[in-house]
Amino acid sequence: MTRLLPWAVVAAVLSGVTANVLRLRGEVSLAGPSVAAQVLDVVAGAALIMAGAAHGRGRGRWLLPAAGAAWLAAEWANPGAPGAVVFTVGLVAFLAPLPLVLASRWRRPLGEGRLAPAPSRWRQPLMGAGPAVLLATAVLLGLAGAVLGGPLAAAAASPRDAACTDCPQDLIAVAHNVALSTRLARLGGLFAIGAALAAVAWLAVTLASTHRQPRRWLSSPEGAAGAAAAAFAAAVAAGEGVILLSEPASAPATGWHAAAAVMLLALSAAVAVPVLRAARARRVVARMAVEVAEDPRRSAADALGAALHDATLSVAYPMPDRTWRDRHGHVVVLPDREVTLVTDSGEKVAAFIHDSSVRIDRVSVTEAASAARLLLDTERLEASALALVNDLSTARRLAVEAADAARAGLERDLHDGAQQRLVGLRYALGLASAHAERLPGRDHAARLADADRAAELALASLRDLGHGISPGTLTAGGLAGAVRTMVENAPGPVTIVELPTERLPEHVERTVYRFIADFLATAGRMPPPGASIAVRRSGQDVVVEVEYGRAGVPASADPATDPAVAHLADRVAAAGGQLRHDDRGGRQRLIASLPCG
């Protein structure tokens, strides 16, 4: 705020001079004899200087302060002015506020190199060709009017020539042609009226091009400022019109002047409110950034949501693979609306997804985003690291699932194809031997029995093969039955301590089954007491506990480096679980926890 201090001094000095002029000769001022109108007059000028200075950035930052200064200076063309210099300045500035105010509505490109919200479809109508031409016309007409009615009229004749005996000297008067001066002043008024018409047309065309949301635009700072500027132009023009029509005597237009002052106040508010709001947003974010950094449960979205008054605000980050992710690395699909992109020199930094009913203005977003810049960058880096981890674990899970699905498909093919045909063969052999028993000679029957035994063995080995690939009983009968069958076929002693009686989600059952199958393949040959297996629910998890080896006998392989254990750990990790190991005096224990939500 210290950068505003020189502006405050300027505003105070100019207001002071004007107030003094009004105090001395208020009855012939533009504001008129009313003290209230005079106060309004001075406050409007000072407010415009300060609001313009606070808001200002970019090339046009001096326009509003200049307009405010010109507004105050216009009153100096008054016999009460302290000296010729001030009086002359007043004459020159007479019609200057109008083009300055209108020019300030020219849409400035946002400062480069700063965090800026990219334009989104609904919020701000772009300055199209039509509105741009109209606004430029208004500015140029206003400028011409200001030159004609100000310096040129003052050069043509001094007010002293027009019988204002107590007026200070007009320093730029080069002639004493009162008629010319009056004509120039009137011409300036006409141009001002033209400028006002163009400004009103500009407002109308802009409203018509706001995608059927003119109200929304009008209530945005940009729209409110535009409307106030156009209304100011209209009030100035109305005042000029009153003066023009009142020929020959110049009638006072104090009412319209007061209306113009009110419009300047509205313009100041429209310009200052978002600045104050943005300053608050920046303060809130800066304060919360510290809290967020200390508390891993909180995020940049919390800080930004508090700063921008939207508790539902969430933040998505752009990834190198062109997806958007939240801070945990999960993919986010950006909604069509209610998104504000934050960019830095054209590079996307983040996207704020917000409540459509909460209006978010560009300046606040910019301020909040730049205050949260470090947080946003940290979260974006975290998100991209986590995105990689997520993608890898998804890929691993998909690989395991695809392998399991392929096993199941293979088993089904075996069952539906070769196995059924072998069973059919045995039916045919059975039929043949039933016939053969009625034939003379026992040879046929014995040979058919041999053939049937061969078919039976083929079927049995095929069945074992199929079952080893993927147990059909698992999907149909559940984990408990399938594990019992598997344990019964294990080569060594295996104790079942506990199995769940209820069905678990299919992929969990498959993982547990394959885990136990892989375990028994290596540990199933253990001498007594052999291996033991326990599967139990524990809250949201399923815990598989397997034990092997004999207490007091060192394990044959260190589980930490055993490739078989690493394989088990892989399978568990692919299902999103964890494998732990402990050694109870030689008896090894593996504990796998699998999420079972």
Partner 1 sequence: MRVAIADDHVLLREGLARLLAEAGMQVVASEGDIDSFLPAVGASRPDVAIIDIRLPPTFTDEGLRGADLVRERHPGTAVLVLSQYLDPGYAFRLLQSFPSGVGYLLKDRVSKVAVLVDAVERVVAGECVVDPSIVSRLVNRTGLTEPLSALTPREREVLGLMAEGRTNTAIGERLFLSERTVEGNVRRIFDKLGLADTPQDNRRVLAVLAFLRA
Contact call for residues 144 and 175 (beta carbons, < 8 A): no
The span from the CA of 409 to the CA of 465, in Å, is: 13
Q: Is 505 in the site for partner 1 (CB under 8 A)?
A: no
Q: Is 404 in the site for partner 1 (CB under 8 A)?
A: no
Specify the stretch interacting with partner 1 by CB under 8 A; choose among 1-9, 347-355, 488-496, 576-584.
488-496
From 16, 128, 335, 424, residue interacting with partner 1 (rule: CB under 8 A)? 424
From 33, 60, 255, 477, residue interacting with partner 1 (rule: CB under 8 A)? 477
288-297's contacts with Cβ under 8 Å and 24+ in sequence apart are 289/371, 289/372, 289/374, 289/375, 292/375, 293/375
Q: Is 461 in the site for partner 1 (CB under 8 A)?
A: no
Contact call for residues 37 and 31 (beta carbons, < 8 A): yes
From 183, 484, 525, 550, residue interacting with partner 1 (rule: CB under 8 A)? 484
CB nearer to partner 1: pick between 339 and 534:
534
Q: Is 495 in the site for partner 1 (CB under 8 A)?
A: yes
Q: Is 452 in the site for partner 1 (CB under 8 A)?
A: yes
Is the dihedral angle over the CA atoms 14, 16, 21, 26 positive or is it negative?
positive
CB nearer to partner 1: pick between 64 and 474:
474
Contact call for residues 325 and 333 (beta carbons, < 8 A): no
Specify the stretch interacting with partner 1 by CB under 8 A; choose among 203-211, 244-252, 489-497, 512-520.
489-497
In angstroms, how far is CA 335 from the centroid of its own chain? 10
Contact call for residues 205 and 130 (beta carbons, < 8 A): yes
CB nearer to partner 1: pick between 375 and 526:
526
CB nearer to partner 1: pick between 128 and 430:
430
- Here the tokens at position 558 are 């260190």
From 246, 345, 394, 420, residue interacting with partner 1 (rule: CB under 8 A)? 420
Looking only at residues 131 through 170 of this chain, which bind partner 1 when binding is defined by CB under 8 A?
none
Nearest approach, Cβ of residue 489 and partner 1 (Å) = 9
Q: Is 421 in the site for partner 1 (CB under 8 A)?
A: yes
Nearest approach, Cβ of residue 518 and partner 1 (Å) = 20
SS (H, E, C) 265-332: HHHHHHHHHHHHHHHHHHHHHHHHHHHHHHCCCCCHHHHHHHHCCCCCCEEEEECCCCCEECCCCCEE
From 450, 456, 570, 582, residue interacting with partner 1 (rule: CB under 8 A)? 456
CB nearer to partner 1: pick between 3 and 438:
438
From 485, 521, 555, 567, residue interacting with partner 1 (rule: CB under 8 A)? 485
- Here the tokens at position 105 are 């509505």
From 6, 82, 430, 554, residue interacting with partner 1 (rule: CB under 8 A)? 430
Nearest approach, Cβ of residue 593 and partner 1 (Å) = 25
Q: Is 312 in the site for partner 1 (CB under 8 A)?
A: no
Q: Which helix (H) or strand (E) holds 259?
A: helix 254-294
Q: How many CA atoms lie within 13 A of 362 on its CB side?
A: 22
318 prior amide bond cis, ω within 30: no
CA-derived radius of gyration, the chain: 44
φ, ψ of residue 45 to 5 degrees: the values are: -65, -45
Contact call for residues 542 and 512 (beta carbons, < 8 A): yes
φ, ψ of residue 583 to 5 degrees: the values are: -120, 115
Q: Which helix (H) or strand (E) holds 47?
A: helix 35-55
Amino acid identity, position 218 = L
Q: Is 487 in the site for partner 1 (CB under 8 A)?
A: yes
Specify the stretch interacting with partner 1 by CB under 8 A; choose among 38-46, 106-114, 121-129, 477-485.
477-485
CB nearer to partner 1: pick between 71 and 519:
519
| C-beta neighbour count of 49 within 10 angstroms | 27
> Which residues contribute to the site for partner 1 (CB under 8 A)?
412, 415-416, 419-424, 426-431, 433-435, 452, 456, 459, 463, 467, 472-473, 475-478, 480-481, 484-485, 487-488, 493-496
